[in-house]
Amino acid sequence: MDVKEKHSGESKPMTELKVDANFNWETTRCIDVRLTGTSAGVVYIRPLEGDYYFCKGMLSSGADFATKITLPSYVKEVKLTFKGLVRIVSVNDNRLEYNFK
């Protein structure tokens, strides 16, 4: 719709919608998670805001915590919490990796 056009209040049929061929219709994405640390404990993968978590797991000393999780497609960063530490980590190329040293 041209910016100069006025909205008539009527909706158009779906067949008249013009959507870019490269538009991504996905609302979620699956990411690979790999977390490591030097001590054992529970790790949470949380959104930057909100009181819930995407994933909760047990991190073992010297071993990887590896899993796949589904995130909303708009999430570019997550908050990792582990033993009182809070880290903001970017999700790059559908991968989330972090080492709690």
Has residue 55 been placed in a domain? yes
Cα separation, 59 vs 41, whole angstroms = 5
Has residue 19 been placed in a domain? no
Helix, strand, or coil (residue 46)? strand
Helix, strand, or coil (residue 83)? coil
In the prediction, which pLDDT does 9 show?
A: 72
Q: How many domains does the chain have?
A: 1
Could you read off the pLDDT of 18-72 as tens digits, one per residue? 889 998 889 999 999 999 999 999 999 999 999 999 999 999 998 899 999 999 9
Has residue 69 been placed in a domain? yes
Has residue 99 been placed in a domain? no
Say which CATH number the domain at 86 has. Answer: 2.60.40
Q: Are 69 and 54 in contact (CB under 8 A)?
A: yes
Nearest to 59 by CA among 30, 97, 91, 100: 100
Task: Name the residue range of residue 78's domain.
Answer: 25-93
Residue 99: its H or E element: strand 95-100
Has residue 48 been placed in a domain? yes
Q: Which amino acid is at 93?
A: D
pTM score = 0.77
Q: What is the DSSP letter of 92?
A: B
Has residue 36 been placed in a domain? yes
Q: How confident is the model at residue 1 (pLDDT cuts 50, 70, 90)?
A: very low
Q: How confident is the model at residue 91 (pLDDT cuts 50, 70, 90)?
A: very high
Has residue 17 been placed in a domain? no
